[in-house]
Amino acid sequence: MSTVSTHPDRALHGGKGEAITRIGPGLALQSLSPAVLWRYRELAWSLAKRDFSVRYRQTCLGTLWAVIQPLVSMVVLHVFFGKAMGLEDRVGGVAYPIFLFAGLLPWNLFTTTITSSTQSLIANQHILTKVYFPRILLPISAATVPLVDFALALVVLFGLMVFLGVSFSVSLLALPVALLGALLSAVGVGLALSALTVWYRDTRHALPFVMQTWFFMTPVLYPPAILPEGYRWLLMLNPMTGVIDAFRAAILDQPMTMSTLMMPVAIGSLLMVVGAVIFTRAERSFADVI
């Protein structure tokens, strides 16, 4: 994020006191200033619409891909892990397709947002050196398309619940809180990685491997209780563990405490601030390096 200041500079203008606009690096947290983001809201909306159009342009099924991907993944994982490996018998009597789908949705939102945000600066390098705007808008606006995909897939999850006879409850009102935790974590990680990608382009090649490994270290396929007591603390280091736990508790009407809901938001907020700090410190050299 950069600060823009206008002040008279007599030395450069023969003592006439003409105004000069200076653009320089600002404080890290200014990158997340609601006032700054609101000022450039139309640009952010234009970037989001462009990303959505590019993603589904000249496709046969269009936005149906947002539904097909998690649905097919759920069926395949259900057969191989639920049936073949017997995980469906270890989820406490819950319908394993719902258990699995409720884990896949926030995970897909998380990984797709990170991937889109990480590539956002490189994909828009043609405008980074030509015009001033808050660079942080690029990775943030990249999160809008995964959010639309998430909303479409959530409708499918609700339909699957009706089909399998899983009742709806008031705990569904907690879904926005779990969603907020996932978005904050994803955008925070995406901010840091997008800045890193400008300097090291092989970050894009390493990211799929990292996300695949991260997937198996996240309780998407299995409940945390399946791990031995001495190893469960490792899951607590994973920011997505709390998100998926809260999401499943809301969907399946499982007991939840205030810490179950607020911990993912707190961790996501921390990742967001850290990502903004890293992004802002690297931002001043984007135009020179990219």
Q: List pLDDT tens digits, range 130-139.
A: 777 778 888 8
Query: What pLDDT is recorded for position 124?
Result: 78
More confident residue, 206 or 64: 206
Query: What pLDDT is recorded for position 17?
Result: 53
- Residue 23 clears pLDDT 70, i.e. is over it: no
DSSP E strands in the chain: the ranges are: 2-8, 19-25
- The band of 7, judged by pLDDT with boundaries at 50, 70 and 90, is very low
- Give the span between the Cα atoms of 42 and 190, in whole angstroms: 22
Q: How many CB atoms lie within 10 A of CB 73?
A: 16
Average pLDDT over residues 203-229: 88
Overall domain count for the chain: 1
Is residue 236 situated within a structural domain?
yes
State pTM to two decimals.
0.82
Query: What pLDDT is recorded for position 8?
Result: 40
- Residue 111 clears pLDDT 60, i.e. is over it: yes
Is residue 185 situated within a structural domain?
yes
Is residue 19 situated within a structural domain?
no
Average pLDDT over residues 6-31: 49
Percentage of the chain exceeding pLDDT 90 = 30
Lowest mean pLDDT among 1-5, 33-37, 103-107, 162-166: 1-5
Is residue 20 situated within a structural domain?
no
Is residue 17 situated within a structural domain?
no
* Cβ(74)–Cβ(157) below 8 Å: no
Question: pLDDT tens digits, residue range 72-104?
Answer: 888 898 898 888 887 887 787 788 999 999 999
Lowest mean pLDDT among 125-134, 155-164, 232-241: 125-134
- Give the span between the Cα atoms of 216 and 224, in whole angstroms: 12
More confident residue, 287 or 255: 255
Helix 239-252 to helix 96-123 angle (10° resolution) is 140
Is residue 2 situated within a structural domain?
no
Lowest mean pLDDT among 68-77, 98-107, 175-184, 240-249: 68-77
- Residue 34 clears pLDDT 80, i.e. is over it: no
Is residue 87 situated within a structural domain?
yes
Lowest mean pLDDT among 29-38, 79-88, 237-246, 273-282: 29-38
* Cβ(10)–Cβ(16) below 8 Å: yes
Range of the domain at 259: 30-289
Q: How many CB atoms lie within 10 A of CB 54?
A: 11
The two three-digit tokens of residue 16, written as one number: 């006439």
Is residue 232 situated within a structural domain?
yes
